[in-house]
């Protein structure tokens, strides 16, 4: 059975991204996946990487305050990130979850004397981003799609070597019609129902 970890990040519970999350979860349920949902804002996740964490960053294991998030990450085989794209990338809150949870002993290890990280998240075989962009696609292409590459290259490099990535993005949300938004919600549910 697919074990899906959904990490949702938006401060406002009535936002369009919250609706996107609901449909993503509905799709995973249709697929019969075992699902855990993390709501970073509602859970009061602290995204600030501390000086103490910096000093200990080569010591294996997460900070005790994020141990549960780390065990969820080690549990899943499918990671679904649901977030709005701001300044062409993941919101700071979600970046903080990456900075603090994807640490040594969880996501990677560094063999002594090397500068090449060894991947430790071989359990993750599928990475999915479901995201909205205020600006149109061509603007995001000019900006270099930092958020997309963070998922498909940077995060993926610490997962299973054959892991696959799925990018479900809506562009131009700021000027979108009700119809386009509904179509995107339908697409998200359909796509996630087919993942497993």
- Min CB(146)–another protein separation in Å: 4
179 lies in the site for another protein, by CB under 8 A:
no
- Min CB(181)–another protein separation in Å: 14
CB 121 within 8 A of CB 107: yes
146 lies in the site for another protein, by CB under 8 A:
yes
Contact positions with another protein (CB under 8 A) in 23-82: 41, 47-51, 53-55
Which of 71, 122, 139, 194 binds another protein (CB under 8 A)? It is 139
Tell me the C-alpha distance between 155 and 136, whole Å.
25
- Tokens representing 34 are 């075992």
- Tokens representing 189 are 């549910």
State whether residue 120 is helix, strand or coil.
coil
101 lies in the site for another protein, by CB under 8 A:
no
- Min CB(50)–another protein separation in Å: 6
- Min CB(194)–another protein separation in Å: 28
- Min CB(139)–another protein separation in Å: 8
Which residue bears the tokens 């900075």? Answer: 99
- Name 172's Cβ contacts closer than 8 Å, sequence gap at least 6: 133, 134, 135, 136, 137
Q: Is 8 exposed, middle or buried (0-12, 13-18, 19+ CB in 10 A)?
A: buried
93 lies in the site for another protein, by CB under 8 A:
yes
CB 39 within 8 A of CB 113: no
Which residues would be at the binding site for another protein (CB under 8 A)? 10-13, 15, 41, 47-51, 53-55, 86-93, 95-96, 98-99, 102, 110, 113-117, 135, 139, 142-147, 149-150, 153-155, 157, 172, 174-175
């Amino acid at each position: 059975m697919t074990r899906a970890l959904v990490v949702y990040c938006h401060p406002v519970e009535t936002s369009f991204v919250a609706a996107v999350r609901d449909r993503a979860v509905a799709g995973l349920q249709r697929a019969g996946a075992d699902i855990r949902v993390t709501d970073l804002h509602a859970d009061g996740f602290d995204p600030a990487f501390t000086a103490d964490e910096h000093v200990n960053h080569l010591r294996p294991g997460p900070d005790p305050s994020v141990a549960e998030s780390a065990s969820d990450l080690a549990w899943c085989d499918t990671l679904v990130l649901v977030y709005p794209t701001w300044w062409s990338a993941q919101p700071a809150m979600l970046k903080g979850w990456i900075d603090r949870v994807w640490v040594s002993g969880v996501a990677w290890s560094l063999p002594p004397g090397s500068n090449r990280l060894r991947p430790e998240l071989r359990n993750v075989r599928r990475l999915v981003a479901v995201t909205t962009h205020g600006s149109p696609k061509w603007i995001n292409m000019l900006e270099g799609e930092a958020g997309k590459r963070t998922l498909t290259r940077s995060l993926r490099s610490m997962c299973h070597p054959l892991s696959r990535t799925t990018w479900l993005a809506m562009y131009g949300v700021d000027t979108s019609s009700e119809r386009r938004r509904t179509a995107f919600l339908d697409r998200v549910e359909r796509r996630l129902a087919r993942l497993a």
